[in-house]
Structure 1
């Protein structure tokens, strides 16, 4: 009798644990509780040792796209890293790529753009290169992003030859090509996709032959400031900055002038012997020295935005950054313990190699790590 009672109690505890895991898993992924039918389905999968399949069920919920993904990506689209911005073409493109399981390294170089589908059930504005009205209305009218986004060729839709995934979307250009000398684009690409601001890649030991004329070599009357501080960031970022030489954001739209460097790139002349950008060639000076640990691919020179996006998204740092971001989202804390950091490495390995940059699989694999014992 005692054995039977204990066995029954154990079975109830396992059942309750599986249900709790399923509920937590769905909440973390979709941002909403599961329906009773979905909860039962996920619970059964977990009890049968198929936790990843249970996670994929939660990923099929439309709120994963309309809530979780949308609010996760929005901070990547503006300099304040704020989620309080309207839905835009950058966010929609990431959502569409995840939904369609397009290899996510293409987020920085693929010729992809997601717009409202023709069969969207509410009246919304047509896509325009000059405004964000279509996307804002999709959000205001609670259109299902899972069901009513469609992929189009970005180059054919916008007329930009050197498209580079989300880098060359209107929202990205508005935030990162609209002011200064386009250095902002390099910085925020590193922050969003390598999880490193320039302070983390600061290296004063690399050659400075690509530092532009607008950087003073004797700031405050002391050349040591340039050598011991400025070079650390400018040598590397200016080496890469040629990728954006033909880009600007003018009259509310992204502009691409193939073969013609936009005026602002070489506008300021504080040091006549500094580098003058003449085309869209770039070189990755950070491939050597301390930043070689970012795991760059073999190609270290190139032309234009697309090739630079490919360099960044095929680095080891990209895979680890995406794994870390997903972990922080679904586990609701930064990886702290050695075991969690080890899992980040494992997830990055799988994401980069076995799963061929499948963001869906990365979400599923990561979410089961923190669904509870």
Structure 2
């Protein structure tokens, strides 16, 4: 009996012990899991934040071109954590280097024939920088009576139509372009009538580069390259009428008319009617004393002026080499026509609300700036600047299309493009 009681007690004790042991194991397991969970938070949360910081760093570096301060980096990271990448990109653009470095390198190649990114700051590049800073409708850079100069309070050399000292001083003194530029009317500085101004197209830098000697066709070509992202070769169209091709273009180069029909015609039939918009413009300088034109100035034949070489307002360069083909077109005014609105070059997306013709540089700038190609070109250039590569994949191309549409819907504000492209590329 005692043995049975002992056995029962022993079994009860054993059962209680097993229960206690099981409970202890459960408690230990829960404690371990609790520690593991805490450990996961401790270990993995910083990794997540580190990823955000890395994205913040890349976003800032790509946009501003310089490392961010610790505070700025943390602020950008916080915006990214809050799912506000556009706001984060705009914060990166508050860094002065975005204007003095990124935008200067972005715009400077457009200002010279060699497309040199490291050419000095000038009225063309400064105007682009200022327009981006102020969220100016970017189409205005090809048509408005505007130029950006250094503030009067900076005590810089005055803006001059015959040298670049004003802008060289801005650069030499490392002036913060985010705060140091102000907008003024171009006509108040260079003597052009307001209706003859066309933004950067009539800047001193553009005149020096593209009205230098020659026939002013360079202004059309480089405007296409810089602002519509196409050279003349892809635009060749032999189906356009040759009726506006000037006298200086031989119809049988080397005695072979096939060369003209198959090559020259394709470019000149569209280019020459557009270049007529610049018929009253010239870049005046002393070729012997100043062969590169550093001290030259833009010139414009105003109403009532007569050029001695043409007997009209048209600059003499439009009538040079007239014996090459005497039956060619004789330029008598600045009326331009866009023959590329028909044929294969409709692909540039010309604005149907415009007439496709007009007088002078301002209306031609409007024609270019309102094309689909202009909007898309700005996005492509920003993409390459921020992503450090051209668009390659279908995803990239779709992003270009989406950002182009957004650019147009958001009043052509280029900072918005930098923000959207920065968001797209920050994870690369």
**TM-score with structure 2 setting the length:** 0.85
Correspondence list, 1:175-324, <5 A: 175-251=209-285, 252-259=296-303, 260-269=313-322, 270-298=324-352, 299-324=355-380
| Deviates most, 9-18 or 184-193 | 9-18
Describe how 1:72-91 pairs up with structure 2 within 5 A: 72-91=106-125
The counterpart of 1:33, out of the listed 44, 64, 67, is 67
5+ residue gaps, structure 2, are: 1-32, 286-295, 304-312
Supply the distance in 2 between the matched residues of 1:128 and 1:334 (Cα, whole angstroms): 38
Aligned match of 2:383: 327
Aligned partner of 2:411 in structure 1 is: 356
Query: Conserved in 1, the CA contact under 8 Å of 2:338 and 2:357?
Result: yes
Q: Which runs of 4+ in 1 moved over 6 A?
A: none
Q: Does 1:65 align with 2:118?
A: no
- Cα separation, 1, equivalents of 2:216 and 2:186: 21
The 5-angstrom pairing of residues 152-191 of structure 1 reads 152-161=184-193, 162-191=196-225
In 2: Cα distance, 1:262 partner to 1:178 partner:
13
* SS at 2:333 equivalent: coil
**Whole-angstrom distance in 2 between the partners of 1:18 and 1:160:** 52
CA distance in structure 2 between the aligned counterparts of 1:100 and 1:84, rounded to whole angstroms: 24
Secondary structure at the aligned position of 1:248 is classed as strand
Give 1:125's aligned residue.
Answer: 157
Deviation, structure 1 residue 72: 1.4
Structural mapping, 1:1-20, within 5 Å: 1=33, 2-20=36-54
1:258 is displaced (CA, Å) by 2.5
8 Å Cα contact 2:279-2:334 kept in structure 1: yes
Map of 1:369 onto structure 2: 424
Q: Name the residue aligned to 2:9.
A: none
SS at match of 1:165: coil
How far, CA to CA, are the matches of 1:296 and 1:201 in structure 2? Answer: 14
Q: Contact between 2:210 and 2:218, CA under 8 Å: does it hold in 1? A: yes
Displacement, 1:7?
A: 4.2
Q: Give the SS at the match of 1:75.
A: helix
Gaps of 5+ in 1: none
Structure 1 position 84, deviation (Å) = 2.6
Distance 1:171 1:329 in 2: 23
Q: CA deviation at 1:196?
A: 0.3
Which SS does the other structure have where 2:201 is aligned?
helix
Contact 2:108 2:121 in 1 (8 A): yes
Instruction: Write out per-residue CA displacement over residues 239-275 of structure 1, whole angstroms, 9 at most, x where no aligned residue.
Output: 1011100000003100011241000111211111111
CA RMSD of aligned residues (A): 1.1
Looking at CA atoms only, which structure, 1 or 2, has the larger radius of gyration?
2
Distance 1:244 1:21 in 2: 47
Quote the offset at 1:119 in angstroms.
1.5
The superposition leaves residues 74-93 of structure 1 with CA deviations (integer Å, 9 ceiling, x where unpaired) of 11111110123111000110
Match of 2:401 in 1: 345
Give, in whole Å, the separation in 1 of the partners of 2:228 and 2:116.
19
Q: How far is 1:34 from its partner?
A: 0.7
The TM-score normalised by the length of structure 1 is 0.97
Give 1:155 deviation, angstroms: 1.4
Name the count of aligned residue pairs. 370
Partner deviation per Cα, 1:57-101 (whole Å, 9 max, x = no partner): 010111101111011111111111012311100011001101111
8 Å Cα contact 2:159-2:189 kept in structure 1: no
Deviations 1:168-214 (A, max 9, x none): 00000000001210000000000000000000111111111111100
Deviations 1:200-244 (A, max 9, x none): 111111111111100000111111110111011000000101110
Provide the secondary structure at the position in 1 that maps to 2:153. Answer: coil
- Secondary structure, in 3 states, of the residue corresponding to 1:217? coil
Is 1:97 the counterpart of 2:131? The answer is yes
